[in-house]
Amino acid sequence: MAVLDDLSGFEFEDLMEDVFRNLGYENVRQAEKTADEGRDVLMEEVVDGTRRAIVVECKHTDTVGRPVVQKLHSAISTFDFDGPKRGMIVTTGRCTGPAHEYVERLRENGDPYPIEIIDGEALRDIADDVGLDLYNGRIEILCDETLRPYDPAGSSSAPIHQAFRDIDNIDGGAVPDPQSHVTFRPTVTVTADTDAVFKTSVGVIHRINDRTRFVIHADRGNPTIASEDVGTLVAENRHAAVELTDDEFEDAFDGVEQNRFGQTQTEYKEWAVDQLRRVHTTDVTYTGDNNVTYTKTCEPNLSDISVQSINAVYLPDVRHSVQLQNYTYPYQYFAAGPSRVTTEDGIHQCVHCETSGAGEPYTYCSNCGAISCEKHIKTERLDQEPVCTGCAVTERFALKTKYFYNDENLDEFREEYGEMSIPEKAMENTILSSAVLLLVMAFAVGVGIALL
């Protein structure tokens, strides 16, 4: 077992907890270390609808004799569990002949508490199945599944065409296909229980009984906890994951990249436990027997936190880029089939100011390709089509600024304006002409009153 021999007994138990969890056993946790009762790891399995408890004795020794097996049998019989029970001995070494004979006799006699032996040789085979590196004693990440990078009922570029549907003056279906790139980012979903009780001379002052599930972005470098919406995206679509192979999705995207997991599963577990200890640490104020107020920092111990599951899956990070005349519009999101969480939306954003967000109205300028907010879009005087303030040519007529696609349209309107009658020219500034009309009417009314 090479480097595994350097582990302490407690470290070996911690490692086996991870191994059994990866093998699919449920409610895997370490027994309390208060006394050696022949129980190191406790877990459960469901066979034909019946839940059964398993009591595990971990022995990080060269040989395991019959007394160890007998002690485990006694520990199983006294373990408080409402249902069938069995035992398991796991060792990095080997079990002696008498130990095997005792286990076989239990089986032949139909004993209600059978025992299974996993020795060093069997542990090597298990290591291959769960990604246990026997040279460093850590569980590696074994993952070849990903959430879907796009909805198979559509196309990989469908989301960007959909994003353009609420942009005025452009048909989403007419938008050219974008340049598309997908990066498969590693994630780890950790589910852990925290069960801690804090006591003083006055009794229990604080209690934690909480189950936490969170998703970790597991790229190289420091892991980070995903946002709540990304965590929900992963959790709700994990069941629909598909196999990720080297050439998968190359036909659907212009570029495909797969990031590596930055740490081992064991390291993510240790990191997650540290995070939970920090989250659950709190200062509690209480009154002592002497009526003096005290403040105690309640921080869970490592043994108070039991990791129930660690599930790895790749999360597609899709980035589109579409070119419309003078402007390039990025659109990026985490994908899970038809569902997605947008991280960058350059479509619902005015190119002239900081206005952004899908709730605002935006209009496409077919003259230059700009997407603009209401403040930066005008009506072109000749064609009566939208034009943005960034590309429009302007000139004042009847004291009002007019907007034109280009100098040619401006010259054409100058000629029309020159041939207009004075009332027609005045109507080029409706606000001004209305004000003049009101003044004239007021003057007329005033004259009428004076004549009376």
From first to last of its 452 residues, the chain has per-residue pLDDT tens of: 445 667 777 888 888 999 999 999 999 988 876 555 556 899 999 999 999 999 999 988 889 999 999 999 999 999 999 999 999 999 988 999 999 999 999 999 999 999 999 998 898 889 888 888 777 778 888 899 999 999 999 899 999 999 999 999 998 888 999 999 999 999 999 999 999 999 999 999 999 999 999 999 998 878 999 999 999 999 999 999 999 987 889 999 999 999 999 899 989 999 999 999 999 999 999 999 899 999 999 999 988 999 999 999 999 999 999 999 999 999 999 999 999 999 999 999 999 998 999 889 999 999 999 999 999 999 999 999 999 999 999 999 988 999 999 999 999 999 999 999 988 888 888 775 555 555 545 555 555 565 55
Amino acid 446: pLDDT: 56
The closest alpha carbon to 54, from 34, 22, 31, belongs to 31
**In sequence order, what E strands does 99-238 have?**
115-118, 132-133, 138-139, 145-146, 167-168, 179-200, 203-217, 224-225
Rounded-to-integer distance, Cα 285 and Cα 294, Å: 6
Question: DSSP readout, 16-41?
Answer: HHHHHHHHT-EEEEEPPTTS-SS-SE
3-class SS of residue 294:
strand
**SS3 label, residue 396:** strand
- pTM of the predicted model as reported, rounded to 2 decimal places: 0.82
Comparing CA positions, the residue from 129, 139, 143 lying closest to residue 264 is: 139
Cβ neighbours of 87 (radius 10 Å): 26
Predicted pLDDT of residue 1: 44
Question: Which residue matches tokens 């936490």?
Answer: 212
SS3 of residue 367 by DSSP: coil
Alpha-carbon Rg for the chain in angstroms: 36
